[in-house]
Amino acid sequence: MKTFSAKKLRGSVLFLAGLFSSAVVAQQLPDFTDLVSENSAGVVNVSTTQSISRESLPRDFEIPDLPEGSPYHDFFERFLDELPEHRRNTQSLGSGFVISGDGYILTSVHVIKDASEIVVRFNDRREFEAEVVGLDERSDVALLKVPASDLQVVEIGDPAALDVGEWVLAIGSPFGFESTATAGIVSAKGRSLPNENYVPFIQTDVAINPGNSGGPLFNLDGQVVGINAQIYSRTGGFMGLSFAVPIDIAMEVADQLKTKGRVTRGWLGALIQSVTRNLAESFGMPKPVGALIAEVVPGSPAAHSELKPGDVIVEYNGERLDEMSDLPPRVGATPVGEEAELEIIRDGKRKTVTVVIGELPVKGTEAERGAEDDSDDLVLGMRLETVQEEDQEELQVDHGVKVMEIVDGPARDAGIQPGDVLLQIKGEKIANVDQVRELAGDLPDDKSVPVLVKRGARSLFLALKPPGNSSENGVTQ
């Protein structure tokens, strides 16, 4: 009779346990087959034709500054001389999806912008030439219309119900490979990207590549929760960071484009910045939260309210603002002409301010728009000059002192740079260098103070610690 040694028996048990564990894991993984088969008909490939000519080049296009005798200089000159008056290129550039059976389709603006012809192709090989109903560059959402009816429509979901870690799936045409499905999880919500203040993006690790743009992001219930719009990449290909426009924002944009041909958003008219730990301390806040007003745009809704630079907005219409990026989407979603109630912190105390929200200008963003003393003495590690009246227009200020030089010290630690104009220190308007010197002598040595500076076209607050206390002190979060 054959017997098993203890070692062999233990190995067999481990092998069976491994098989059982793998089976359990496989059962826990989602099965996307039904989701893909039931929704692929509502996802389309978007191809565009663009006309390229000398006139279509940017107005400021110039031959790059290359070394004398460089062969590339001749190449660029020949390129400009030989560029035909009209050259047509056809490329499969993106994806889209059907939101109504009578032919309305959502995609991304950058997929169809400047196209002379747009062709939408369905997975049953039907093709239609599409017209642009409207587009909104701020959200990168475009609405198309094709002459078709009885189209399969995707189901719209609720992105607010998404949880970080939840499975999601994308269907699109990466690199022109139609009806490609890729899956991943929600990595984060409410992401704010550069130049995209009004969209709280959904971040995923779903594989998104060129051609996926404009395609739908599905939850496990087969509902569209976002439009795949951007990737973060150093190579041009997928690197694990993908971003989608929440579908509720996209549908609101589509509704406005359909009904009035353009999109209106609420506007506060204040340049805001994040509240750092040191700034929170300087404003008497227990922890860094909210959006700090660095500048109020003249003539804006904020300018017609009680708001002023140095206020920290911590609530908007009863909703808490944990980050600066929480504010723009809420303001943008507020109907023009409606009153908004803002909870602010000013001088360490809470205050409620009411603002009548205006309409965001079509062009530009929220962020667009003394006594003489030439002392060379250093103040807080800065060499300063009072801004003279004849220089105020160029510097876009009506008061302040200009930072001419920075050496090691509190100013450098605070992030102040040569060329900055100091406008306020600890809430006090700065008129000349002597005033800065006087204020510097009265600053507390145990905490940061807020300093408002003008840097180019923008204003921002920085937290400055007086000499002898420039190290970072921990604040319990």
pLDDT in tens, 348-387: 899 999 999 999 887 544 333 322 333 346 788 888 888 8
The predicted model gives 290-306 an average pLDDT of 91
* Residue 174 DSSP one-character state: G
pLDDT for res 418: 87
Strand 216-218, strand 223-231: pairing: antiparallel
For residue 28 the two structure tokens come to: 């826990």
Give me the architecture of the 155-260 domain, per CATH. Beta Barrel (2.40)
Annotated domain spans of the chain = 38-54+73-145, 155-260, 266-359, 378-464
Per-residue 3-state assignment (H helix, E strand, C coil) for 439-471: HHHHCCCCCCEEEEEEECCEEEEEEECCCCCCC
Torsion of CA 346, 351, 352, 355, to 10 degrees: -20
Q: What is the pLDDT of residue 354?
A: 96
Lowest mean pLDDT among 85-99, 206-220, 415-429: 85-99
Alpha helices in 142-181 (DSSP H): none
Rounded to 5°, angle at Cα 21 from 16 and 22: 100
Q: In the CATH scheme, what is the homologous superfamily, with its name and number, of domain 266-359?
A: PDZ domain (2.30.42.10)
Q: Which CATH class is domain 378-464?
A: mainly beta
Known catalytic membership, residue 22: no
User: Does residue 2 register a pLDDT over 90?
Assistant: no
The region of weakest confidence among 22-31, 217-226, 264-273, 446-455 is 22-31
Contact, 366 vs 328, CB < 8 A?
yes
The answer to whether 226 touches 202, Cβ cutoff 8 Å, is yes
pLDDT digits (tens, 9 = 90+) for 61-93: 454 554 555 554 555 555 555 555 545 455 658
- Selecting among 95, 108, 140, 173, the annotated active-site residue is 140
Which of 78-92, 172-186, 348-362, 453-467 has the weakest average pLDDT? Answer: 78-92
Annotated active-site residue in 40, 51, 73, 110:
110
Q: What angle do CA 68, 71, 76 make, to 5 degrees?
A: 95
Residues 216-224 have a mean pLDDT of: 97
Task: Summarize the confidence of residues 134-160 as an average pLDDT.
Answer: 95
Please say whether the beta carbons of 374 and 280 come within 8 A. no
For the chain, the helix, strand and coil percentages under 3-state DSSP, each to the nearest 5: 25, 35, 40
At 474, the pLDDT band (50, 70, 90 cuts) reads very low
pLDDT tens, position by position, 37-62: 999 999 999 999 876 554 545 544 45
Q: Please state which of the ranges 399-413, 417-431, 433-447 shows the lowest mean pLDDT.
A: 433-447
Residue 62 Cα distances to 24, 84, 418, angstroms:
62, 18, 31
3-state secondary structure of 209: coil
Output the pLDDT for position 212: 93
Q: Which residue has the higher pLDDT, 412 or 152?
A: 152
Per-residue model confidence (pLDDT) at position 305: 94
Selecting among 47, 213, 305, 459, the annotated active-site residue is: 213
- The answer to whether 266-359 and 378-464 have equal CATH topology is yes
**CATH of region 38-54+73-145:** 2.40.10.10
What whole-number distance in Å separates Cα of residue 4 and Cα of residue 299? 88
Annotation says 100 is catalytic: no
Using alpha carbons, select from 51, 326, 473 the residue that is nearest to residue 463: 473
Amino acid at 36: V
Closest CA relative to residue 471, chosen from 410, 407, 380, 382:
410
d(CA 413, CA 465): 8
Q: Which helix (H) or strand (E) holds 329?
A: helix 327-332
Higher-confidence residue of 23 and 233: namely 233
Reply yes or no on whether 213 is catalytic: yes
pLDDT at 282: 87
